Structure 1
Amino acid sequence: MPRSSWLFGPALSLCLLPFAAVAQTPPDCAKPSGRAERTICASADLKVVAEDMATLLRDTLGNTSIDDNRDAIERAQKAFLTERDAACADKSTIPACRALYEKRTADLAAQNSAAQKKLATVVAGIPKDAKAAAAALQRYSGAPAKAWLVYLHQSGAVAVPDKDATVRRLVDEILNQGLPKDPYLLEEMANLGDVPSAPLSTSLLFLRHVMSTTEMDAPCFLFTKHGQPAFEAFGAFWGNARDETPGLCSPPSSLFDLPEWKAVSTHMDPAIEPALVERGSIRHGYERQFEVDDLQATLVPSTLLEAPMSAEAKKMAEQRGRAVAAFRSWSDFDVWPEKEYRAAVNALPAAITATSKLYREKFKLNPQTADQAARAAADRFIAGRLGLIMPDD
Structure 2
Amino acid sequence: MTARFQITTSPPPTSTTASYSPFLRLLLCLSLTLGASTAAHAASFDCAKATSNVEHSICNNPDLSSLDGQLSENYQSAMANLAGDQADALRTEQRSWLKQRDTCNGQESCLSDLLSQRAAQLQNTAKQGASALDNLIASIPADPAAAAQQLQQYRGPLPSAWLIYLHQFVPASKVTDAEVATRHQSVIKAMNDDAFSQSVLHYIENNPKTGPDVSVLTLLRMTIERAGYENADGRPYVHCFIFKQQGSAAYEAFGALYGSSRDSQAPICSPQGDLFERPAWQQLTKLIEPMIGKASENSGTIRFASYADWAMFRLHATVSPEDFLKPSQRTPATDDPAQLIRSWSDDKVWPQAQREQLLVAIEPARLATMGWLQTEKHFSASDAAKAADAIVNTWLRDRIDFIGEMSGPVD
Could you tell me the TM-score, scaled by structure 1's length? 0.75
Q: CA–CA distance in 2 between the matches of 1:279 and 1:101?
A: 44
Letter in 1 for 2:146: A
Distance of aligned partners of 1:42 and 1:339 in 2 relative to their CA distance in 1, 3 Å threshold:
same
| Gaps in structure 2 of 5+ consecutive residues | 1-42, 230-236
Identity over aligned pairs, percent: 27
Q: Note if contact 1:201-1:230 (Cα within 8 Å) is conserved in structure 2.
A: yes
Q: CA–CA distance in 1 between the matches of 2:243 and 2:342?
A: 31
Q: Note if contact 1:212-1:246 (Cα within 8 Å) is conserved in structure 2.
A: yes
Aligned residue pairs total: 351
User: Could you say what the CA RMSD is over the residues aligned between the two structures, in angstroms?
Assistant: 3.6
For each residue in 1:266-307, what CA deviation from the matched residue of structure 2 results, as whole angstroms up to 9, or x when unmatched? 322233345556655433222211111100111101223569
Other-structure match for 1:179:
191
Q: Note if contact 2:167-2:174 (Cα within 8 Å) is conserved in structure 1.
A: yes
Higher relative contact order (CA 8 A, sep 6+): 2
Distance of aligned partners of 1:242 and 1:115 in 2 relative to their CA distance in 1, 3 Å threshold:
farther
Q: CA–CA distance in 1 between the matches of 2:101 and 2:128?
A: 25
Q: Note if contact 2:44-2:68 (Cα within 8 Å) is conserved in structure 1.
A: yes
Distance of aligned partners of 1:103 and 1:377 in 2 relative to their CA distance in 1, 3 Å threshold:
farther
* Aligned match for 2:377, one of 363, 373, 393: 363
User: How far did residue 150 of structure 1 move?
Assistant: 0.4
For each residue in 1:19-41, what CA deviation from the matched residue of structure 2 results, as whole angstroms up to 9, or x when unmatched? xxxxxx94355654532224445
For each residue in 1:242-283, what CA deviation from the matched residue of structure 2 results, as whole angstroms up to 9, or x when unmatched? 123343333552321222212212322233345556655433
Q: CA–CA distance in 2 between the matches of 1:262 and 1:207?
A: 33
* Aligned match for 1:286, one of 292, 301, 306: 306
Distance of aligned partners of 1:336 and 1:156 in 2 relative to their CA distance in 1, 3 Å threshold:
same
Q: CA–CA distance in 2 between the matches of 1:322 and 1:182?
A: 42
Alignment of structure 1 residues 287-366 onto 2, 5 Å:
287-304=307-324, 326-327=340-341, 329-366=343-380
Other-structure match for 2:106:
89
Partner SS state of residue 153, structure 1: helix
User: How far did residue 338 of structure 1 move?
Assistant: 2.4
Q: Does 1:237 align with 2:268?
A: no
Alignment of structure 1 residues 1-393 onto 2, 5 Å:
26-27=44-45, 29=47, 31-40=49-58, 50=68, 53-66=71-84, 71=89, 74-75=92-93, 77-78=94-95, 80-87=97-104, 89=106, 93=108, 97=111, 101=115, 104-160=118-174, 163-176=176-189, 178-179=190-191, 181-193=193-205, 198-216=211-229, 217=237, 219-251=239-271, 253-273=273-293, 275-276=295-296, 279=299, 281-304=301-324, 326-327=340-341, 329-392=343-406
Could you tell me the TM-score, scaled by structure 2's length? 0.72
Q: CA–CA distance in 1 between the matches of 2:324 and 2:63?
A: 50
Distance of aligned partners of 1:115 and 1:326 in 2 relative to their CA distance in 1, 3 Å threshold:
farther
Q: Note if contact 1:359-1:370 (Cα within 8 Å) is conserved in structure 2.
A: yes
User: How far did residue 367 of structure 1 move?
Assistant: 4.5
Partner SS state of residue 405, structure 2: coil
Q: CA–CA distance in 1 between the matches of 2:327 and 2:201?
A: 25
Letter in 2 for 1:209: M
User: How far did residue 341 of structure 1 move?
Assistant: 1.7
Partner SS state of residue 192, structure 1: helix
